[in-house]
């Protein structure tokens, strides 16, 4: 089983601060996706990265896929209360529909 470890498990910061969430594995993934999930809702896809070393930016969010396709990071600049949520990384495998999810990082941004 390919395992994905996310760190930290919990992050509480003030509005305006920066934060980084990490997703690591000893296995190689064909892709890496990041989701944000809010209470009572399903995860919402933020980004998909497929190439080792790839960097994608989505407004204040920057996503990076490691060169060896074993790790990824999500960086949020100038966090806002609307960024609060559970951030999940998911590794794509060679099996249809089967993504390996990390346990998630709970981010809380207070005004």
Partner 1 sequence: KAGVTQTPRYLIKTRGQQVTLSCSPISGHRSVSWYQQTPGQGLQFLFEYFSETQRNKGNFPGRFSGRQFSNSRSEMNVSTLELGDSALYLCASSGGLAGFPGSYEQYFGPGTRLTVT
Residues lying near partner 1 in the complex (CB under 8 A) are found at 29-31, 33, 35, 40-45, 48, 50, 88, 90-104
Answer yes or no: are the C-beta atoms of 32 and 65 closer than 8 Å: yes
CB of 88 to partner 1, least distance (A): 7
* Pairwise CA distance, residues 109 & 82, whole Å: 8
Choice between 4 and 79, CB closer to partner 1: 4
CB of 20 to partner 1, least distance (A): 20
Choice between 19 and 49, CB closer to partner 1: 49
Answer yes or no: are the C-beta atoms of 84 and 108 closer than 8 Å: yes
Instruction: Find, among 44, 78, 75, the residue nearest to 62 by Cα.
Output: 75
């Amino acid at each position: 089983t390919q395992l994905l470890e996310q760190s930290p498990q919990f992050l509480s910061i003030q509005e305006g601060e920066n934060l980084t969430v990490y997703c690591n594995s000893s296995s190689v993934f064909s892709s890496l996706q990041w989701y944000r999930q809010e209470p009572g809702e399903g995860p919402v896809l933020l980004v998909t990265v497929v190439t080792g070393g790839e960097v994608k930016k989505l407004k204040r969010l920057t996503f990076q896929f490691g060169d060896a396709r074993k790790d990824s990071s999500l960086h949020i600049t100038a966090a806002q209360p609307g960024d609060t949520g559970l951030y999940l990384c998911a590794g794509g495998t060679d099996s249809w529909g089967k993504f390996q999810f990390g346990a998630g990082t709970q981010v809380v941004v207070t005004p």
